[in-house]
Amino acid sequence: QKEVEQNSGPLSVPEGAIASLNCTYSDRGSQSFFWYRQYSGKSPELIMFIYSNGDKEDGRFTAQLNKASQYVSLLIRDSQPSDSATYLCAVTGGGGADGLTFGKGTHLIIQP
Amino acid sequence: GAVVSQHPSWVICKSGTSVKIECRSLDFQATTMFWYRQFPKQSLMLMATSNEGSKATYEQGVEKDKFLINHASLTLSTLTVTSAHPEDSSFYICSARWGGPLTQYFGPGTRLTVL
């Protein structure tokens, strides 16, 4: 059974600093990796996805994937109070036919 | 961007009654829709995958006779929680996928409370 592990936090980061969120997954067959942000009482919203080993940057966000270590991370630069939320790591298998397997999420708090 | 709606956004019902939740893709045709459930302070758990015109595929541990899924068209899937009990109280979220296989668009969720 696929498992996705995240530190539940809370992770507290000063405003303007870099927030680093980590995730490990159990299924070596996983091929696509996603980071979602979820505010309390709301559904998740996609921040980034990554398929290949290495880094992928989009604005203030950088996703990093290391398939050999089964490790995915998300860096948030210049953290803002509005970034305070729960960040969910999710994986899916090949072809995207499967639904997503989510981690429990990391609660991020950006301190003004 | 792609929009997925859910109705109702919240519902309160008595134990033993059935509740239907609708998931619609508003501006695209969804070949596949997914239903997730999220308990407080827990992650989203995939319940089932449905493809238009065929039977849904349920995840292990999800009772297919209790959670009835109907994906009658490319823009509508429904989840019916039959004989609901307090332990079914949860946040139910659908998502829809089209074209590119690796991105799902989530609905806003339905908060179900069973008294």
Q: Answer yes or no: is pLDDT of B101 > 70.
A: no
User: Which of B34, B43, B109 is facing A88, going by the closest CB pair?
Assistant: B43
User: Which of B93, B102, B108 is facing A96, going by the closest CB pair?
Assistant: B102
Residue B63, pLDDT score: 94
In chain A, count H helices and then E strands: 0, 11
Question: B92 — contact with chain A (CB < 8 Å)?
Answer: no
Helix, strand and coil in chain B, % to nearest 5: 5, 50, 45
pLDDT digits over B13-67, tens only?
Answer: 999 999 999 999 998 898 899 999 999 889 899 999 998 888 899 999 999 999 9
In chain B, count H helices and then E strands: 0, 11
B68-77: which pairs have CB atoms within 8 A and are 24 or more residues apart? B69/B35, B71/B33, B74/B25, B74/B29, B74/B30, B74/B31, B75/B24, B75/B25, B75/B26, B75/B29, B75/B30, B76/B22, B76/B23, B76/B24, B76/B25, B77/B22, B77/B23, B77/B30, B77/B33, B77/B35, B77/B50
Nearest-neighbour CA in chain B from A42: distance (Å): 6
Contact B71/B53 with Cβ under 8 angstroms? yes
Residue A99, pLDDT score: 85
Q: Answer yes or no: is pLDDT of B7 > 60.
A: yes
Confidence of residue A97 (pLDDT cuts 50, 70, 90): low
Confidence of residue B102 (pLDDT cuts 50, 70, 90): low
pLDDT digits over A50-96, tens only?
Answer: 989 999 999 999 999 999 999 999 999 999 999 999 999 999 875 54
Residue A98, pLDDT score: 73
Q: Answer yes or no: is pLDDT of A33 > 70.
A: yes
Confidence of residue B100 (pLDDT cuts 50, 70, 90): low
Rounded to an integer, the average pLDDT of B65-74 is 92
User: Which of A42, A46, A102 is facing B44, going by the closest CB pair?
Assistant: A102
Task: Name beta bridge partners: B90.
Answer: B112
Residue A94, pLDDT score: 56
Give the amino acid at A75. Answer: L
Residue B85, pLDDT score: 96
Residue B52, pLDDT score: 83
Question: B25 — contact with chain A (CB < 8 Å)?
Answer: no
